Structure 1
Amino acid sequence: MDNNDVLIRLRYALDIKDQDMVEIFKLGGVDFTTEEVSKVLTKSDDEEAADNEDYIKCTNSMLESFLNGLITFKRGPQEPKPGQPNKPDRSIKNYSSVNNVMLKKVKIALKLTSEDIIDILDEAGVKITKGELSALLRKEGHKNYKEFGDQYARNFLKGLAIKYRG
């Protein structure tokens, strides 16, 4: 699952309008027009579409900016604490950490508890224990860290759609 697909599924699950997408990207530090957002939200099934001028590939940096903007959009701006840097470090270090970071940031943005995430995955037909979820939410490099695979991510976004769209 590529970053564009994550954005498309997240947008659908949370029923985010185009103008709100522009605002969320802006809050995350990326200035997009409505047309550019539409190009990012275009599916690319093959490399031909990737060469198409109506398609913008969503980079890890763009996705993380969107997720940071989503947190600000849903919860409001956070006042920086003394001695804390203004811009947070990038959490997405490589492709394998994208799904874990997406899970953590959506959890923060929507104020989800661990039980909520377990219920959301259960809605999509995936059974997961609190211990397994804890491993998914750990920082990469921790001895108990577990990768949140594409199938889990698809089911999580499917469960979000069921919860928020009915």
Structure 2
Amino acid sequence: MTDLRRVMSTFATGVTVITVGGETPHGMTANAFCSVSLDPPLVLCCVSGTARLHQAVSAEGHFAVSVLCAEQEDTARYFANRARPRGREQFVPLDWVPGPHTGAPLIVGALAWLECEVEEEVVAGDHSVFVGRVLHALAGEDRPALLFHGGAFRGLARAPLPDEANGQVRAG
């Protein structure tokens, strides 16, 4: 198990906050998230069977994803802390808006947001893979992304285009 953890830490992943709306909204930092299909539009997230979010996603049948930018490391740490408040209170210190399709909290300032309806839940070891049909997707500003690599958060800056590296601006 420790060898697998060490090996997987060499793989850089994006950082998201997965949220659920409803009577008792909940959120959690997650890096096990990816695109599955463009047609139909499907994504997946993996959630531990013991996580509060697992029960919430199963009960509500939907989830939202906020893809964090490099400046949102504090937000990622906040939602990774199991001692944070529960329910609506956990969202009090943050800027967020309810998703137009699910009501799930969307974190203001994120790079992108998705709202999804659970299409399938697959138990895989100690986690469930929630496959979500994308109901709504929106990209924000082009800014550096927050990554998780080697057990630490890291920022990712956009590499300059070849012409930019030479001090020239590409004509569009």
Q: Flag whether TM exceeds 0.5 (same fold).
A: no
Structure that is richer in strand per residue: 2
Give the TM-score normalised by the residue count of structure 1: 0.23
TM-score for the superposition, normalised by structure 2:
0.23
Going by fraction, where is helix more abundant, 1 or 2? 1
Larger Rg: 2
